[in-house]
């Protein structure tokens, strides 16, 4: 990267690290919180394992509301919440809070779709064999949906890379922020180009890893 000054090279490495941290941490949180929400949505849906419209509808509404709020607005709208959780509303750590929230809603929906793809016949067979609802979730639903869950996580990771570019608005740093501040505002096209190329490689690597995992996990 000799076309960039050493100081810029350091900034680039730091930005890459910030992006990886924001994407990784928020995705991890989103998987941990999103999966139970998806299971709850799936189970309480009509015809599910424990149909319950009183739980299903409000939960679905919250998920949809979060998903339909543009990320840049969501980020500033929840600043009080971010301050409560992260102790500050500025910086990489603070950016993870809104990223995780947006990703959780996004993933909950994608996970729910993956769960819905599980053959209802297999679930019925488990019921016929005397499985409890918890056994059906743990031994049938999640294992059978696993390739779909991994594919959904890959999609979410790629989307998070895009969202994280907006983290600059709250001082979150990262590659997108670097591209805006140097490439755009300081008229340094070589920085912008480098950032874009790194992001493309980054996303491509995530996608390939996800695809490989899905292939390994599914036996269809």
C-alpha span between 206 and 116 (Å, rounded): 25
- What's the token pair of residue 181? 């501040």
> Cβ(121)–Cβ(192) under 8 Å?
no
Q: Which of 20, 86, 203, 217 binds another protein (CB under 8 A)?
A: 217
C-alpha span between 157 and 164 (Å, rounded): 10
- What's the token pair of residue 197? 């190329």
The one segment of 65-73, 91-99, 133-141, 189-197 that binds another protein by CB under 8 A? 133-141
Residue 143, interface with another protein (CB under 8 A)?
A: yes
Measured from the CB atom, is 25 or 126 closer to another protein?
Answer: 126
The one segment of 135-143, 173-181, 185-193, 205-213 that binds another protein by CB under 8 A? 135-143
Tell me which residues in 144-173 interact with another protein (CB under 8 A): 144, 146-147
The one segment of 87-95, 105-113, 140-148, 191-199 that binds another protein by CB under 8 A? 140-148
What angle, rounded to 10 degrees, do the helices at 53-68 and 6-44 form?
160
Burial of 213 (0-12, 13-18, 19+ CB in 10 A): middle
Residue 215, interface with another protein (CB under 8 A)?
A: no
Residue 192, interface with another protein (CB under 8 A)?
A: no
**Which alpha helices (H) appear in 45-180, and where do they start and end?**
53-68, 71-77, 79-86, 92-116, 120-128, 133-135, 142-164, 175-178
Tell me which residues in 112-131 interact with another protein (CB under 8 A): 119, 121-122, 124-131
Residue 132, interface with another protein (CB under 8 A)?
A: yes
The one segment of 89-97, 150-158, 198-206, 212-220 that binds another protein by CB under 8 A? 212-220
- What's the token pair of residue 31? 């998987």
Which stretches of the chain bind another protein, using CB under 8 A?
Answer: 119, 121-122, 124-132, 135, 139-140, 143-144, 146-147, 217-220
């Amino acid at each position: 990267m000799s076309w960039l000054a050493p100081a810029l090279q350091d900034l680039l490495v730091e930005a890459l690290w910030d992006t990886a941290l924001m994407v990784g941490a928020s995705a991890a949180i989103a998987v941990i919180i999103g999966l139970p929400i998806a299971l709850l949505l799936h189970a309480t849906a009509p015809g599910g394992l424990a149909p319950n419209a009183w739980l299903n509808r409000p939960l679905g509404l919250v998920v949809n509301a979060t998903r339909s709020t543009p990320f840049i607005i969501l980020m500033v709208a929840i600043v009080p919440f971010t301050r409560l959780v992260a102790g500050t509303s500025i910086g990489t750590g603070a950016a993870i809070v809104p990223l995780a929230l947006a990703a959780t809603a996004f993933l909950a929906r994608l996970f729910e779709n993956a769960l819905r793809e599980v053959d209802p016949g297999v679930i019925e067979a488990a019921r016929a064999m005397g499985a409890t609802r918890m056994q059906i979730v743990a031994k049938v639903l999640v294992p059978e949906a696993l390739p779909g869950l991994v594919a959904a996580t890959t999609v979410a990771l790629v989307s998070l890379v895009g969202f994280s570019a907006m983290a600059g608005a709250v001082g979150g740093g990262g590659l997108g922020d670097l591209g805006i501040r140097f490439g755009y505002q300081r008229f340094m096209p070589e920085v912008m180009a480098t950032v874009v190329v790194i992001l493309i490689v980054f996303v491509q690597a995530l996608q390939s890893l996800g695809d490989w995992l899905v292939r390994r996990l599914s036996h269809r």
